[in-house]
């Protein structure tokens, strides 16, 4: 995990040589749950589970935050409405810091306790990047745990020219990304770091006598059982080690750069056709686009293209409009695949619009 932090140039506070450190979780969903539990532990002084403590704790995330954030809040006991959904900038689809501040202030005025903000680098819907410097400053001002979910786009940080997306990460209390998404590692493998491992361990440790041993008591080893929900752990590190050793730094950078370049190539095709439009920015390897037509026409286009079996696209909604998504992720994808997919889309649009 320290090698991986070095590869991504993560802040020094996440390295195990200091007060922080990393652990492999099964998915970003588990990382978000663990971060939420640690945040609640901090916000309550360790008393958030106590019976009779009548305080309401709040989580905050972008309207495009992943569904796992709400699930984590429910599991942690914050209730079905424990997550405040914060409005996004219509132009960038990124969380609006002023709206976050207003929500926090409103909750404080109501006697609620802001516990955690989950910011996203590369939202699932459009790969938007939330403004971490502004969000981080707000969290620091109010003493709120900041967890950064970079499940998909975190891999981009292996490339120095894409590390702009991680600006402000020094504010984060925890951070995660999924090597099993864009870093060529088999599922499941989520890399999760904390700035202060003591806070995490205090929130999760349960130490019956039968787990006590001299190595743990002396601090000679790190018990990762206290960094996750389950007691036992799968050995996920080896497959990640194989990827790092086989591809190396330059091989991984070449993979990421290829995906970004192919996505940009496809976006250029979209721009060149007046029948289509880009629906969001495409900083990584996902392109959101649509026909300049109604939702039914776009849904029909997606169904027809996927029905050929020659390509598979997905969809989302951007500003309420049905939007198609093309994602590049395979190391086997080359320019001709992108060009053939565009030709298929353009030809299908001809049939659909005539």
- Average per-residue pLDDT in the chain? 91
Distance CA 290, CA 119 (A): 27
d(CA 35, CA 33): 5
Give me the pLDDT at residue 50, please.
Answer: 66
Asked if residue 8 lies in contact with residue 157, where contact means CB atoms within 8 angstroms, the answer is yes
Residue 185: predicted pLDDT: 94
Q: Per-residue pLDDT averaged across 144-173, rounded?
A: 96
Measured CA to CA, the distance from residue 134 to residue 96 in angstroms comes to 9
As a whole number, mean pLDDT of residues 141-152 equals 96
CA distance 10 to 225: 24
pLDDT bracket for residue 18 (50, 70, 90): confident
Question: In whole angstroms, how large is the CA radius of gyration of the chain?
Answer: 22
Q: What is the pLDDT of residue 45?
A: 81
Instruction: Specify the DSSP element, H or E, that contains 25.
Output: strand 21-25
- What digits encode the pLDDT tens for the residues 225-238? 788 887 778 889 99
> Which CATH code for domain 2-234?
3.40.640.10
How far is it, in rounded angstroms, from Cα 99 to Cα 101?
Answer: 5
User: How many Cα atoms sit within 13 Å of 169 on the Cβ side?
Assistant: 28
How far apart, in Å, are the Cα atoms of 166 and each of 75, 259, 282? 29, 19, 16
At 321 the pLDDT is 94
On the question of pLDDT at 51 being above 60, the answer is no
- Alpha-helix residue ranges (DSSP H) falling in the chain: 2-8, 28-44, 67-75, 97-109, 132-142, 179-182, 197-204, 214-218, 237-271, 295-307, 335-353
Residue 79 has a pLDDT of: 82
Does residue 221 have a pLDDT over 90?
no
pTM over 0.85: yes
Pairing of strands 145-149, 276-278: unpaired
- pLDDT tens digit sequence for 205-220: 776 667 788 877 777 7
User: CA dihedral defined by 316, 318, 323, 328, rounded to 10 degrees?
Assistant: -70
Residue with token string 């901090």: 42
Buried b (16+ CB within 10 A) or exposed e, 218-236: eeeeeeebbbbeeeeeeeb
How far is it, in rounded angstroms, from Cα 140 to Cα 134?
A: 10
Pairing type for strands 83-86 and 276-278 reads unpaired
Work out the average pLDDT over 57-68: 92
* pLDDT tens readout for residues 174-202: 999 999 999 999 999 999 999 998 888 88
pLDDT value at residue 204: 76
| Residue whose C-alpha is closest to residue 28's, from 171, 149, 117 | 149
Span 299-352, pLDDT tens digits: 999 999 999 999 999 999 998 999 999 999 999 999 999 999 999 999 999 888
d(CA 152, CA 178): 6
The arithmetic mean of pLDDT across residues 136-145, rounded, is 96
The CATH topology of domain 249-353 is 3.90.1150
Per-residue model confidence as pLDDT tens digits over 251-286: 999 999 999 999 999 999 999 999 999 999 999 999
Which 8-state DSSP code applies to residue 17?
Answer: T
The pLDDT score that the predictor gives to residue 328 is 95
pLDDT of residue 241: 95
The structure tokens 């990047």 sit at: 129
Domain boundaries, the chain: 2-234, 249-353
Q: Rounded to whole angstroms, how far apart are CA atoms 31 and 23?
A: 10
- Asked if residue 48 has pLDDT above 80, the reply is no
pLDDT grade for 13, boundaries at 50, 70 and 90 = very high
Q: Say what the pLDDT of residue 53 is.
A: 58
């Amino acid at each position: 995990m320290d090698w991986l932090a070095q590869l991504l140039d993560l802040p020094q506070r996440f390295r195990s040589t200091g007060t922080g450190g990393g652990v492999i979780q099964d998915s970003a969903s588990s990382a978000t749950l663990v971060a939420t539990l640690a945040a609640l532990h901090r916000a309550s002084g360790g008393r958030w589970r106590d019976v009779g403590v009548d305080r309401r704790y709040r989580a905050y995330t972008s309207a495009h935050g992943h569904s796992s954030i709400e699930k984590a809040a429910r599991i942690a006991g914050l209730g079905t409405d424990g997550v405040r959904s914060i409005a996004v900038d219509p132009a960038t689809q990124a969380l609006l810091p002023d709206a976050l501040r207003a929500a926090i202030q409103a909750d404080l005025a109501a006697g609620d306790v802001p516990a955690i903000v989950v910011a996203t680098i590369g939202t699932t819907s459009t790969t938007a990047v939330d403004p971490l410097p502004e969000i981080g400053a707000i969290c620091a001002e109010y003493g709120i745990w900041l967890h950064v979910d970079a499940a998909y786009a975190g891999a981009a940080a292996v490339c120095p020219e894409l590390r702009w997306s991680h600006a402000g990460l020094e504010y984060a209390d925890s951070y995660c990304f999924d090597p099993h998404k864009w870093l060529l590692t088999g599922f499941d493998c989520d890399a999760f770091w904390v700035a202060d491992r003591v806070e995490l361990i205090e929130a999760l440790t349960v130490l019956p006598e039968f787990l006590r041993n001299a190595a743990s008591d002396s601090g000679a080893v790190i018990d990762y059982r206290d960094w996750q929900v389950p007691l036992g752990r799968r050995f996920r590190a080896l497959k990640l080690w194989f990827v790092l050793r086989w591809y190396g730094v330059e091989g991984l950078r070449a993979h990421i750069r290829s995906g970004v370049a192919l996505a940009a190539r496809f976006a250029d095709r979209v721009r060149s056709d007046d029948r289509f439009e880009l629906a969001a920015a495409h900083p990584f390897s996902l392109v959101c686009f649509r026909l300049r037509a109604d939702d039914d026409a776009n849904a029909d286009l997606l169904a027809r293209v996927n029905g050929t079996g020659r390509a598979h696209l997905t969809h989302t909604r951007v500003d309420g409009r049905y939007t198609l998504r093309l994602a590049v992720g395979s190391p086997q994808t080359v320019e001709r695949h992108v060009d053939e997919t565009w030709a298929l889309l353009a030809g299908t649009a001809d049939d659909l619009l005539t």
